[in-house]
Amino acid sequence: MPLALFDIKTPLDPLRDQLRAAALGVLEDGQYILGPNVGAFESEFADYLGVNHAIGVANGTDALTIALRAMGVGPGDDVVVPSFSYYASAEAIPPTGARPVFCDVDPETFCVTADTVRAALTPRTKVVIAVHLFGNVAPVAEIEALGIPVLEDAAQAAGSTVAGRKAGALGTAATFSFFPSKNLGGFGDGGAVVTNDAEIADRVRVLRFHGSSDQVTYDEVGYNSRLDEMQAALLRVTLPELDGWAAGRRAAGRHYEDVGLGELVALPQPTPDSAPAWHLYVIRHPLADPLAEALGRVGIGAKAYYRTPIHRQPAMLPYAHGISLPATDEVAAAHLAIPMNPALSRIDAIEVVSAIGGVSA
Ligand SMILES: *Cc1c(COP(=O)(O)O)cnc(C)c1O
């Protein structure tokens, strides 16, 4: 049986009627920008995470830029960010006027650590972006203990927890993406900034609306970056499903472990006390590309997302002079995402593992 890398459609099937009703409600109501569903989703998402404020924005990349500016980042500042991440984690920094400073990751967890961050600190470091990569949870408290505020990039970690607390509720602020393939995916672009800090929340609200708090006076140059009313209405239908989907992603990870995947490849290691809602299930193998091709030939989706790490991307070379990130280069070469979705069964896992076993043998 073919098995796709991910499946965003099946989990939505039981929700079709509710989604249709929510979409029609917005069409009939006629308020398309910052209407009642945006406000309601913001408070429901804040409650879900256990934070005081959630502010909807246009996408997860804007969420990072706006959150950084709301945290006071500007020209002359440095922001530490892992090179092994989705490109947007770093791309969001230069528009604030600050400089990205790339740090390494732990190859077993794919996340930054207090040590990799410490090695990248400069006298100008204003914020550390801790990416919860693939749904694993970066050690936010240990990084904060270095004395620098943490912005969590939780785009891939909706539904992940650490010691019972939600990823996105750990740092000074956090950002989410509702891109359709994310753990809490919308039906177009969308994102959010969340925080317990009322001042940061107010600044985010102003920045997302052209730098204006009253829509008449423009105090600073901001953005036109709002979560659509339509997306908010649809996300209100899917948010109550998130924990169930996260449990399914965890169970899928356990199926892979139980059926012996760890004997064939290096498995992703959850960080201490974390329960990752695996956004992608990413293994490591010395021959990752031939393995992906072989899996593809038998209809099993497999993909390397970040073969070229961010510090080696052409647009980022001005920020990457003379840096050496050995673990990043190692995982960039060896990582491979294999099928993951909230409904992935033990039988699916057996199929993937026997296919990998067939190739490795
Ligand atoms: C998806 C993603 C983003 C960007 O989100 P968009 O909504 O696509 O702009 C940022 N960081 C990480 C880690 C992501 O996975």
Domain shared by 122 and 143, yes or no: yes
Q: Does ligand 1 lie within 6 Å of residue 142's CB atom?
A: no
Handedness of CA 104, 110, 114, 115 (dihedral sign): negative
Domain shared by 193 and 299, yes or no: no
Domain shared by 262 and 341, yes or no: yes
Instruction: Please check whether residue 334 lies inside any domain of the structure.
Output: yes
pLDDT digits (tens, 9 = 90+) for 294-346: 999 999 999 999 999 999 999 999 999 999 999 999 999 999 999 999 999 99
Distance from residue 259's CA to the centre of ligand 1 (Å): 32
Q: Does ligand 1 lie within 6 Å of residue 306's CB atom?
A: no
Domain shared by 195 and 341, yes or no: no
pLDDT band at 141 (very low <50, low <70, confident <90, very high): very high
Instruction: Please check whether residue 4 lies inside any domain of the structure.
Output: no
pTM of the model: 0.98
Question: How confident is the model over 3-28, as a mean pLDDT?
Answer: 95
Q: How many domains does the chain have?
A: 2
In percent, the amount of the chain with pLDDT more than 90 equals 98
Q: Which two three-digit tokens encode residue 83?
A: 């090179």
Domain shared by 196 and 51, yes or no: yes
Domain residues for 270?
242-360
Domain shared by 125 and 206, yes or no: yes
Instruction: Please check whether residue 356 lies inside any domain of the structure.
Output: yes
53 within 8 A of 299, measured Cβ to Cβ: no
pLDDT band at 44 (very low <50, low <70, confident <90, very high): very high
Domain shared by 204 and 290, yes or no: no
Domain shared by 195 and 213, yes or no: yes
Q: Does ligand 1 lie within 6 Å of residue 225's CB atom?
A: no
Measuring CA to CA, which residue among 253, 280, 282, 283 is closest to residue 265?
A: 283
Q: Which two three-digit tokens encode residue 226?
A: 């709002």
Q: Does ligand 1 lie within 6 Å of residue 155's CB atom?
A: yes
> Of 219, 240, 261, at which residue does a domain stop?
240
Written as one letter, the residue type at 59 is: N
Upper half-sphere CA count for residue 100 (Cβ side, 13 Å) = 30
Question: How confident is the model over 46-56, as a mean pLDDT?
Answer: 98
Q: CATH no. for residue 199?
A: 3.40.640.10
